[in-house]
């Protein structure tokens, strides 16, 4: 059962973001995590703030109004054929309209029944193998054609098929997904998000990002918007072309970090023709969902979001020109600067205008690799060995230790980089 948001008494007055950050520790500026001492019932509200769903200076009434009236401004929606966007509609009503649009093309969307592909999964390998052979034609029979709608192309494609299979595999160990309706909700949101973001489409692993959000939020529409904002942080990582993957930029930074703090494993990986660090793609793309336990993953996510918090996110996402790109002005105001997360504050102080790629996630990946340095140097004779060694860590790492080590690596990287 998703947690409810008992925040009416808490949010009845002005409630700036730094108050929410107290959820994470007694001092939101601390460099190391402290025992959590917050209010679990407002966890979903905290996520909405940290991910830029709301203006940090907004009041409870303003946020309530925004939740009902906010218009969706993602430019890819405007490119969707056969889809008329009604800006005056409330956020829940707009999501419901999109869902109904999908439902006219794929009846299983919103029906409480999982897609045909997922139902086949329960019927054994023989039927599954048959479906693999006829997946495109089978999926087309589900459609009620409406011209050249993007949803038609999506659900008749391999990507739509892949999304259906991934939903069935998502967090099977959690009792939450014993309820088929919850799996159905996961599928609905993934399908609609993919439809609205055809420039990226569905990428394997997005279901792992979506799952914790749907567990946390009771309202499916609220969960969709929080997920959409979470994906803003990951869009460039999962974007891919025929010749490149967006995550390669982050992997390039990872290579620099490893080479700077400890050249030995980097040299060994180079000898194995693994200098591009492609074996770390999964960690970067699904943000540690496979390497850490479910709870430790959320712990790391929340720490990263808090440390990298930028109060201008909302303005940037909503394309508010008067408040967009004002980091340089903030750097001159100590009071405003305190509202940034500690990691983001360092970035703002540096005076850089371009978005940085050396996020905390890069250093967490580096800390994970460091735990296996000895084995990599001793046992890895090829990239297959590297993949196997890293595969053995799944679910066996401590999130707090990894985070502490990541901060140490970050400090060492900065010192070494300044010397060069």
Express each pLDDT in 364-384 by its tens digit. Answer: 999 998 888 888 888 888 888
Task: For tokens 């180079």, name the residue.
Answer: 270
- Look over the chain and give the mean of its residue pLDDT values, rounded to a whole number: 70
Question: For residue 4, what pLDDT band results from cuts at 50, 70 and 90?
Answer: very low
* Cα–Cα distance for residue pair 285/209, rounded to 1 Å: 9
Q: Is the pLDDT of residue 401 over 70?
A: yes
Burial of 251 (0-12, 13-18, 19+ CB in 10 A): buried
Closest C-alpha to 284, from 361, 391, 195, 371: 361
Task: For tokens 């390998």, name the residue.
Answer: 125
pLDDT at 105: 56
pLDDT at 202: 76
Cα angle: 118, vertex 121, 127; to 5 degrees: 120
- Average pLDDT (88-92) is 49
* Cα–Cα distance for residue pair 90/73, rounded to 1 Å: 13
Task: For tokens 């979903």, name the residue.
Answer: 44
The domains located in the chain, with CATH, are 17-69 (no CATH), 75-232 (1.10.8.270), 247-308+359-419 (1.10.472.80)
Query: Reduced to 3 states, what is the DSSP secondary structure of residue 388?
Result: helix
pLDDT at 393: 79
Question: For residue 92, what pLDDT band results from cuts at 50, 70 and 90?
Answer: low
Q: Is the pLDDT of residue 287 over 80?
A: yes
The tokens describing 244, both together, are 């490149």
Question: For residue 242, what pLDDT band results from cuts at 50, 70 and 90?
Answer: low
* Cα–Cα distance for residue pair 118/187, rounded to 1 Å: 10
Within a 10 A sphere around the Cβ of 154, how many other Cβ atoms?
21
The tokens describing 103, both together, are 């439902």
Q: At what angle do helices 43-50 and 206-216 cross, to 10 degrees?
A: 130
- The pTM score is 0.72
């Amino acid at each position: 059962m998703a947690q409810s948001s008992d925040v009416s008494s808490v949010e009845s007055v002005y409630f700036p973001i730094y108050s929410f950050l107290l959820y994470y520790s007694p001092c939101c500026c601390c460099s190391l995590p402290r025992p959590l001492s917050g209010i679990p019932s407002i966890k979903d509200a905290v996520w909405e703030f940290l991910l830029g769903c709301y203006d940090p200076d907004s009041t409870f009434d303003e946020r309530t109004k925004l939740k009902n009236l906010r218009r969706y401004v993602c430019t890819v929606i405007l490119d969707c054929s056969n889809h008329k966007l009604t800006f005056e509609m409330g956020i829940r009503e707009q999501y419901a309209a999109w869902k109904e649009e999908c439902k006219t093309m794929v009846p299983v969307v919103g029906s409480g029944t999982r897609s045909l592909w997922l139902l086949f999964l329960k019927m054994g390998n023989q039927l599954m193998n048959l479906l693999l052979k006829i997946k495109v034609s089978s999926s087309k029979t589900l459609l009620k054609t409406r011209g050249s709608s993007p949803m038609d192309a999506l659900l008749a494609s391999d990507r739509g098929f892949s999304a259906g299979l991934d939903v069935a595999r998502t967090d099977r160990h959690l009792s939450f997904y014993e309820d088929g309706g919850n799996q159905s909700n996961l599928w609905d949101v993934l399908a609609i998000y993919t439809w609205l973001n055809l420039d990226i489409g569905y990428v394997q692993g997005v279901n792992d990002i979506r799952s914790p959000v749907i567990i946390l939020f009771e309202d499916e529409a609220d969960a969709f918007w929080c997920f959409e904002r979470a994906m803003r942080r990951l869009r460039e990582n999962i974007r891919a072309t025929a010749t490149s993957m967006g995550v390669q930029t982050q992997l390039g930074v990872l290579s620099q970090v490893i080479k700077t703090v400890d050249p030995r494993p980097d040299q060994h990986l180079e000898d194995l023709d693994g200098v591009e660090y492609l074996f770390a793609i999964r960690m970067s793309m699904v943000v540690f969902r496979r390497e850490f336990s479910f709870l430790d993953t959320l712990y790391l996510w929340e720490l990263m979001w808090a440390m990298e918090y930028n109060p201008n996110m909302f303005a940037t996402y909503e394309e508010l020109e008067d408040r967009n790109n004002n980091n340089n002005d903030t750097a001159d105001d100590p009071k405003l600067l305190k509202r940034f997360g500690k990691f983001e504050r360092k970035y703002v102080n540096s005076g850089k205008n371009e978005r940085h790629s050396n996020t905390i996630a890069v250093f967490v990946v580096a800390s994970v690799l460091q735990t296996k340095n000895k084995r990599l140097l001793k046992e890895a004779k090829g990239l297959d060995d590297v993949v196997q060694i890293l595969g053995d860590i799944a679910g066996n790492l401590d999130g707090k230790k990894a985070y502490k080590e990541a901060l140490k690596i970050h400090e060492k990287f900065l010192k070494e980089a300044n010397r060069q």
